[in-house]
Amino acid sequence: MASLNQITLIGNVGKDPEIRFLPSGDAVANFSLATSESWKDKSGEKQEQTQWHRIEVFGKLADIVQNYVTKGSKVYVQGQMIYDEWEKDGVKRTSAKVKLGFGAKLILLGEKSSASKSVASLTGKAKATATSDVNSDDVPF
């Protein structure tokens, strides 16, 4: 029987993505994504809870993140849940992140901004649907 490791999130980028390059020259982008849930408690007061997620993007999507994603951007991400384990000072530690590699999906949501060009839909296969303010010469693939 096959298995599936897939996570889908819609949220806001917490700070500008950090970009680094592998020895092969491929870009890797990292950013935090906030997802929020709100509800009314028994007394009718509005409550809100925010969860933060670490996102790691590889390949052509990392190039797109570098050029089009900024702090506050609303994005849809679909990728794999990855758990890193290490030991520091004799204490075993674990962290979780969402990995967007080949076959992953990243969709930029929200209003168009004059400060940055936006791309409507991008996948790990590097397909794109550009909004009206993006010239096809500006898309890096």
CATH number at residue 120: 2.40.50.140
| Conformation bin of residue 44: beta by default, left when phi > 0, alpha when psi is -120 to 50 | left
Report the pLDDT value the prediction gives residue 116, as an integer from 0 to 100: 38
Section 9-35 average pLDDT: 95
Quote the percentage of the chain above a pLDDT of 70. 78
> Is residue 136 situated within a structural domain?
no
Angle of CA points 109, 62, 117, to nearest 5°: 45
> Is residue 101 situated within a structural domain?
yes
> Is residue 126 situated within a structural domain?
yes
> Is residue 140 situated within a structural domain?
no
Report the pLDDT value the prediction gives residue 126, as an integer from 0 to 100: 40
> Is residue 75 situated within a structural domain?
yes
Q: How many domains does the chain have?
A: 1
Query: What is the residue range of 21's domain?
Result: 7-36+49-130
9-13, 74-78, 102-106: least confidently modelled range: 102-106
> What average pLDDT does the chain have?
82
> Is residue 15 situated within a structural domain?
yes
> Is residue 30 situated within a structural domain?
yes
